[in-house]
A and B are shown apart, each in its own frame.
Chain A
Amino acid sequence: MSKRTLRKSMGYIKKEYPRTRTIPASWYLSSYKFKFNITHMKPFLDKLKQKKLVGLQCSSCNRIYFPPRQICGKCLVKPDRWIDLRETGRVASFTVTYLKDPETGEVLERPIVCAQLDGADTSYPAQLDPDIEFKDTYIGMPIKVHWAENIKGGLMDIEYYDSIEDSAKDLQPKEE
C-alpha cells in the first residue's frame, strides 16, 4: 500500500479498514416543506379549542376515525360525519420509548400508548402520564385526556393521558 493512502492526517481513513475511506457527510432532512390539507380537520381543531373531541365517521362503513382521516381507505370515500367523543378511552397497546433530553443529555424513559377513545374505532400513538410506572400499564387500561395549559387548537393540546380508575364516573355513559 502506498504511503499516500495511509496518510492519517486526512482524518478519514479507518485504522482497521485500509480498503475504504470514510468521508463524513450530512443530509439535512428537516429543511423541507410538508404541505397538507386541513379542510378535513378544521371542525376537529375548532372543537379542540373548546376542549371537546370529535371523530370523523365514514358514512359508507360507519367506522369512526380519531384522529380524523381525509380518506377512508376501506371504502375510498371521504368521511364526512362528525361524531362527539368522550374524553375517556382505553390503552390498545403500549411500549416504552427512550428520549434524550437535548439540553442535559439525560435519557428519559417514557411510556407511550396506542390510545383508543371510547366511541372511536381507531387508535393513535400518544404519551402517557410521565408519573405512571411503566410496569403498571396494561392493555385495556382506562385513560382520560389531560389537557395542556395553553390550548392552541392542535393535537398537542392533548398533552398526555391520565390513568383513571375502572369504576370512575367518567367511564359511565352520560344520562340525557
Chain B
Amino acid sequence: MEKVGIVGYNQVKLYSDANYGRYEMIFEAVRGALDSAGLKKKDITTVVSATNDYYDGRTISNALTVEPGGGYLADESKVEMDGAHAVLYGLMRILSGNHKLAVVWGGSMASSFPYHTARLYETDPIWERPLAYVNDITSAGFQMRAYMEKFGVSAEDIAKIAVKNRKNAAKNQLALVEAQNPNLTVKDVLESEIYADPVTELMVAQPCDGVAALLLAPEKQALKITDNPVWVIGVGYNQETYYLGERDLSSSKSMELASKMAFNAAGVKNPLSEIDVAELFEAYAHEELILSEAIGFTEKGKGASLSSEIGGDMPINPSGGALGGNPPCATGLIRIIEAVKQLRGEANGYQVKGAEKAIASGQIGLCAQNNILYVLEGGN
C-alpha cells in the first residue's frame, strides 16, 4: 500500500453534558488540527465528516457544519458510521491522487438524545424489536454471557479490564471526568448498577459529547508539512451478519478477517511481538478481550491472561479506550489519534516507551458487528 501520512490531529475534551454548542466544538477540533500542523483553511482540499442523525437527534446531521468543519468551497461528504470508517474514506480520497490534504472529523452530542434508546432502532423491526427489548446494552449482555460461558472466563477478569481502562483514563486529560477513577476496584465494578446482567454500569462505555479531527496527506506532501508524520501502512475492515442469532457472539470473526487484511498490507507476521501499542474501540469491557483475541494477541479465551497495562506485554488502551468516554462517531477516530500520540511521543502521562508500530480500531453495530483496523508506523 502507498503510504499516507497523518500530519495533524486534535480532540476536544469529552463532557457528559458539554457547555458547548455543537458547532463550536467542531470548529475547535478542526481549527486545532490545522494549527497543530501549521496549516490554513486554503490548504484543505477535501473534507470527510462522520456524524449520525440518530445519535444527534435530528436529520441531516452534517447540515450547518460546512463552516466549522472547514468545508466552505471544498468538497465535503459524510460517513454515517464510526469516525474510523471516515478515515478510510479520507484515505481513499488521498490515494486517488487528486487531493493534497484531507480533513476527517467526527463526533456528536450524545447529551442531546437518548443514545441507548436510539440504538433500539438498530434491531430488526420484524423479528427482534417486538419480541425482546434488545438494544446495544442487552445484546452486549448476550455477548458477554456467551463469551464467559464458552471460555470459562469469570466476571472478575472482565471487571479488571474496566478497572485498567478507567485507571488509564485518569491519566488522560481529555477523557470524560465521570470515567476517570484512579482508585477503582474490581469490587466497585461488579457491584455497580446492573444494566443487563452480567454487564454492569462501569463496564459500559458512557456515551458523551465530543468531536475529533485528523489530517491526512499523501507521502510527499506529508513530509513537507511536518518532520514527524505517522504513516498508515495497513488497513482492514470486515463485517458480520446483521442478525444476532446467526453469529458466534463469543468471538469476533469480522475483526479476525479485518486484522488479517491489515497485517497483510503492513507486512506484520506476529502481531504480539511487532506491535508496540494497541488502541481498541471496546464499547464494553468484555469486547476488549474478544477483539484482542481476534487480532491474534492470544489464543481464543486467553485474552484475560495478557498483561495489557502500560508497560505490560501489549499495552491496550493506555489512553483509557472507549471506556474513558464514548462520543458516538468520534470514538474510533480518537483511538487513531491516541495511537498517533503514542507514536509521536506526545501521550503525556500515559506514554508507552519506544512505541514504533501501533494499531487502532473502530467498530459499529450491535456487538461490534463491523470492525476496522489500522496499522500505523512512526515516521522518523
Give chain A's interface residues, CB within 8 Å of chain B.
16-17, 19-20, 25, 27, 29, 34, 36, 65, 67, 69, 73-74, 92-97, 99, 110, 112, 114, 116, 121-127, 134, 139, 155-156
Contacts and interface: CB of A to CB of B under 8 A. Distances in A.
B187 to A, nearest CB: 20
A96 B194 contact: yes
A171 to B, nearest CB: 20
A155 B131 contact: yes
Contact of B197 (A67, A69, A134): A134
A20 B21 contact: yes
A69 B149 CA distance: 28
A95 B132 CA distance: 11
A123 to B, nearest CB: 4
Interface of B: 17-21, 57-59, 113, 121, 125-128, 130-134, 138-139, 141-146, 149, 194, 196-199, 241-246, 249
Nearest to B111: A22
19 contacts: A17-B19, A27-B58, A27-B59, A36-B125, A93-B149, A94-B142, A95-B196, A95-B197, A95-B199, A96-B194, A112-B134, A112-B138, A114-B245, A124-B127, A124-B243, A125-B134, A125-B245, A156-B130, A156-B131
Nearest to B240: A73
A143 to B, nearest CB: 14
B168 to A, nearest CB: 27
Given A20-B19, A125-B131, A156-B131, 14 more contacts: A20-B18, A34-B125, A36-B125, A73-B246, A94-B142, A95-B142, A95-B198, A97-B138, A110-B133, A116-B245, A124-B245, A125-B128, A155-B130, A156-B130
A43 to B, nearest CB: 16
A131 B200 CA distance: 23
A17 B131 CA distance: 41
Contacts of B113: 27
B20 A112 contact: no
Contacts of A34: 125
A97 B133 contact: yes
B145 A139 contact: yes
Given A97-B132, A125-B131, A92 B141 contact: no
Nearest to B123: A125
Contact of B196 (A65, A96, A139): A96
Contacts of B242: 73
A152 to B, nearest CB: 13
A95 B145 contact: yes
Contacts of A19: 19-21
Contact of B133 (A65, A112, A123): A112
B19 A124 contact: no
A44 B125 CA distance: 17
A99 B130 CA distance: 13
B177 to A, nearest CB: 14
Contact of A73 (B21, B130, B241): B241
A68 to B, nearest CB: 9
Given A125-B132, A126-B132, A139-B146, A93 B249 contact: yes
Contacts of A112: 132-134, 138
Contacts of A97: 132-134, 138, 196
B246 A122 contact: yes
B149 A139 contact: yes
B232 to A, nearest CB: 30
A106 to B, nearest CB: 15
A34 B241 CA distance: 21
A73 B139 CA distance: 21
A95 B249 CA distance: 13
A127 B132 contact: yes
Contacts of B149: 93, 139
Contacts of B141: 94-96
Contact of B145 (A16, A94, A122, A127): A94
B184 to A, nearest CB: 24
A16 B149 CA distance: 46
A94 B131 CA distance: 14
A26 B139 CA distance: 26
